[in-house]
Amino acid sequence: MGLRILLLCSTDNGLCRRARLVLQRSGNTVRTATVADSDDIGKVVARTDFDLIICPYLTARIPDWVTRRWWPKVVVIHPGPVGDRGPSSLDWAITDQEPVWGVIAVTATDVMDAGPLWATRTFALPQGRRKSDIYSSIISDAAVQCIVEVADKAADPTYRPTDQADAHRPIAHARTRPRMRQSDRAFDWRDDSELIRRRILAADGSPGVRSHIADRSVYLYDAHPGRRDVVASAGAVVGRRHHALEIACGDGKSIWIGHLRVDLGDRWSCKAPAVSVLGRAGVPARSLSPIAGQASASATPEVFEDIAYRSIDEQVGELTFRAYNGAMSTDLCRRLARAIRAVSLRDSRVLVVRGETGKTFSNGLHLGAIECADDPANAAWQNIVALNEVCKELLLCPKLTLVAVTGSCGAGGAVMTQAGDVVVAIGRAVLDVHYATMGLRGSELHSFTLPRRVGAATAHRLLTECEPVDTTRALDIGLVDHVGPDIEFDLWLNELAHEYALPELWEKTIRRKHQHLAHDLGHRPLEVYECRELAEMAANLFDDSLGFAAKRRAFMQKGSPRPSTGQGVLDMEDLMNSRRH
């Protein structure tokens, strides 16, 4: 018989959803409660008894009576190794370039992260990656392992967690660190470009790093290496490509900034593509001459690219796109559709369409770009039409298309995958196949592709019950065809793509594709499905029939800094609750 487990979280993020799914699969009864403060926690806990309370991601303080009542079975997940304490653990680790890091599960006490130890994991910390990408992949993997171990130990009435003073410390210098403030993250554009980029990586996706571009106060996100031979004043905008801006640094190099928040005077903008959000602040960034590039894996890393193609060999081609936090702008969708169409003319048998391993695959519409637009409803309409074009190019591509879900995905991003002939996913991925929580009916040809894969009844449940699906469940119901390992996923994917390029399997898959399309579209053209979906989306977007505008705005303004007061620099972290147990 499983345990009754309560997951307390400030946001039901990817880690919380993964934890719930894996605990439920082990036979436990799991409830997730999203709480804003200590009062919320008290109300939730007072209503029901639990065998175990786990806090995968919690910023509110847990009331003392809760920890006493369930001692020691109120367990907090901390993204740091034994001995590390504080609310900015991962930020400091990335900033300090720690080679090895860890995750611990500890009993909640009145001293943050100091309670008895239930479980711990250590791992190599990759360099040059965004905090949110590390959190959603390596940190999340280790945290889920710790959570499973905690549940197993909690089922043993004789088990007692270990005092941290007696526990092995694999990282000897781990210690209590304060909350990282903007003063700790600060840089000058005259600094070394790599130092600047590392500061931004350590604050991305939240809270960002406070700086200035074109005399505008901004928070910076989505930083990438730029050119090595830039002759310009440090801090000058020296180029643009797609939605990104190129900024000169003090060492003669540059960095690309893909996303910003900007101070609009009476408020801060939401996080949105850099070129468009600066335009909202009156900076004509689009007047800059764009820097040329090419959608090729051999293109210089000095040029910002979010779509790249490489021909692995004569059998397999691979098209990789990068969507920041899974958000696919209208421009990205249009270019991706054109890229699929172009590479479909090449000689390879199999086309792999994928994201970057360890990062969010796709969440569909770019809500930030929509919110920042002069006419959000029309911007959303253009975005959904462009995303539909990607789906149609995948569905009707003459090649065998293998869509590789390289990280978690949701809404239109999850449904988009169903247009592929073969769908595979990395094991850690969670798929949220629904739109309803954002006030949308959705499109992406879901009324055609989803029932073909999972059946009409299951498709209806996925779209209406709004429950996340892990890859085990996705494989069971036919949402994906194969699940790959979290470690060495790229190697596994390459081998699988070449298996599908073998004559017998390729011919079988292509024949089935053509038969299904001919049969399913023979009496009802694809345009009929799309028109019906878009008719419902038009009501959602232009009539706001399900509250999309308010839900989008609330989602995009989470964690936003307050308006300027004219009384000095605001520290974004001062405006957010510190993480307290």
pLDDT tens digits, residue range 518-563? 999 988 999 999 999 999 999 999 999 999 999 999 998 875 665 5
Exposure string (b/e) for 81-117, b if CB count within 10 Å is 16 or more?
bbbbbbbbbbbbbbbeebeebbbbbbbbbeebbbbbb
Please tell me the predicted confidence (pLDDT) of residue 298: 38
Residue 210: Cβ within 10 Å count: 22
Distance, CA of 241 to CA of 286 (rounded, Å): 9
Q: How are strands ordered across the β-sheet holding 430-432?
A: 409-410, 430-432, 469-470
What is the per-residue pLDDT across 167-181, written as a single tens digit (0 to 9) for each? 999 999 999 999 999
Residue 575 has pLDDT above 60, yes or no: no
Question: With pLDDT > 90 as the criterion, what percentage of the chain qualifies?
Answer: 87
Residue 256 has pLDDT above 60, yes or no: yes
Q: Indicate the helix (H) or strand (E) that contains 490.
A: helix 489-501
Please tell me the predicted confidence (pLDDT) of residue 381: 98
Please tell me the predicted confidence (pLDDT) of residue 559: 58
Q: What is the DSSP letter of 268?
A: B
Residue 568 has pLDDT above 60, yes or no: no
Exposure string (b/e) for 249-282, b if CB count within 10 Å is 16 or more?
bbbebbbbbbbbbbbbeeebbbbbbbbbbbbebe
The model carries a pTM of 0.92
Q: How are strands ordered across the β-sheet holding 117-124?
A: 29-34, 4-9, 52-57, 74-78, 100-107, 117-124
Question: Is residue 558 a contact partner of residue 572, using CB atoms and an 8 Å limit?
Answer: no
What is the per-residue pLDDT across 133-164, written as a single tens digit (0 to 9) for each? 999 999 999 999 999 999 999 999 999 999 99
Name, in order, each residue with C-beta under 8 angstroms of 558's C-beta and a sequence gap of 6 or more. none
Residue 54 has pLDDT above 80, yes or no: yes
Question: Is residue 412 a contact partner of residue 433, using CB atoms and an 8 Å limit?
Answer: no
Residue 519: Cβ within 10 Å count: 9
Please tell me the predicted confidence (pLDDT) of residue 302: 73
Please tell me the predicted confidence (pLDDT) of residue 25: 94
Number of H helices, E strands in the chain: 20, 23
What mean pLDDT is predicted for residues 460-470?
95
Question: Which one is the CATH code of 307-486+510-555: 3.40.50.10360, 3.40.1130.10, 3.30.420.40, 3.90.226.10?
Answer: 3.90.226.10
Residue 317 has pLDDT above 70, yes or no: yes
Residue 570 has pLDDT above 80, yes or no: no
Name, in order, each residue with C-beta under 8 angstroms of 123's C-beta and a sequence gap of 6 or more. 100, 101, 102, 138, 142
Please tell me the predicted confidence (pLDDT) of residue 295: 40
Please tell me the predicted confidence (pLDDT) of residue 579: 37
Domain boundaries, the chain: 4-166, 182-287, 307-486+510-555
Mean pLDDT of the chain: 92
pLDDT band at 407 (very low <50, low <70, confident <90, very high): very high
Question: Is residue 37 a contact partner of residue 60, using CB atoms and an 8 Å limit?
Answer: yes
What mean pLDDT is predicted for residues 403-431?
97
pLDDT band at 573 (very low <50, low <70, confident <90, very high): very low
Quote the longest CA-to-CA distance of the chain.
Answer: 71
Please tell me the predicted confidence (pLDDT) of residue 289: 67
Asked whether the CA dihedral 513, 514, 519, 525 is positive or negative, the reply is: positive
pLDDT band at 297 (very low <50, low <70, confident <90, very high): very low
Please tell me the predicted confidence (pLDDT) of residue 292: 61
Question: With pLDDT > 70 as the criterion, what percentage of the chain qualifies?
Answer: 94
What mean pLDDT is predicted for residues 79-91?
96
Please tell me the predicted confidence (pLDDT) of residue 283: 87
Three-state DSSP at 131 gives helix
Please tell me the predicted confidence (pLDDT) of residue 563: 52
Per-residue DSSP letters for 187-217? --TTS-HHHHHHHHHTTTTTT-EEEEETTEE
Three-state DSSP at 99 gives coil
Domain 182-287 in this protein, CATH class: alpha beta
Question: Is residue 101 a contact partner of residue 82, using CB atoms and an 8 Å limit?
Answer: no
Q: What is the DSSP letter of 575?
A: G
What is the per-residue pLDDT across 486-525, written as a single tens digit (0 to 9) for each? 999 999 999 999 999 999 999 999 999 999 999 999 889 9
Name, in order, each residue with C-beta under 8 angstroms of 173's C-beta and a sequence gap of 6 or more. none
pLDDT band at 304 (very low <50, low <70, confident <90, very high): confident
Please tell me the predicted confidence (pLDDT) of residue 560: 60
Q: How are strands ordered across the β-sheet holding 482-484?
A: 307-311, 316-321, 350-354, 400-405, 422-426, 482-484
CATH superfamily of 4-166: Formyl transferase, N-terminal domain (3.40.50.170)
Please tell me the predicted confidence (pLDDT) of residue 95: 96
What mean pLDDT is predicted for residues 562-570?
40
Residue 124 has pLDDT above 80, yes or no: yes
Exposure string (b/e) for 23-37, b if CB count within 10 Å is 16 or more?
beeeebebeebebee
β-pairing verdict for 409-410 and 430-432: parallel
Token duo for residue 127: 């360099």
Distance, CA of 61 to CA of 247 (rounded, Å): 40
Distance, CA of 469 to CA of 431 (rounded, Å): 5
- 105-to-108, 124, 424, 528 alpha-carbon distances in Å: 9, 18, 32, 52
